[in-house]
Amino acid sequence: MIEEYNYICQNNTMKHFIIFLLLLPYLYFAQTENFTSVNRQMQWQKIYETSFSQNEILSIIKNSGKFTNILSDNDSLTGSFSDLTADYKGAGSTTMGTTIYVQNSSIGANFKIDFKEGKYRVTITNIVLNELMDSGLGISN
């Protein structure tokens, strides 16, 4: 059995293929939907359909108390937020499926909402995780 393993692992292509097979489940289930890289910066973008008007959405955002620097023009809203806790359970993940760093961090970012008839596009940029307490992972801001 060991001889067969040594023979298989002598071939670098086979080594890479075995590693790929072992990592495939992690790559498949990674939550990268709606994230893109623009000018080497990560951003999140999604389009929603809605029956709410721009003024109704502006009112919801202002009344939440979680957003600052809110500006509105003809067909967009911009602003920022900080100290939001990641709702990984609401996103369908579990405590075991979420890294300790995300669980122990708050999120800050800028946002832009572009409106068109019956839908709007949310773009979140300058995304920053701020560690709430020392996770012991040696990661610092």
| Structural domains of the chain ordered from first start | 1-30 (no CATH), 34-131 (3.30.310)
pLDDT band, very low/low/confident/very high, at 26 (cuts 50, 70, 90): very low
Helix boundaries (H) for the chain: 2-10, 12-28, 54-64, 100-103
* Residue labelled with tokens 């579990």: 94
Residue 121 above 50 pLDDT? yes
Q: What is the Cα–Cα distance from 13 to 11, expressed in whole angstroms?
A: 6
Q: Give the global pTM.
A: 0.66
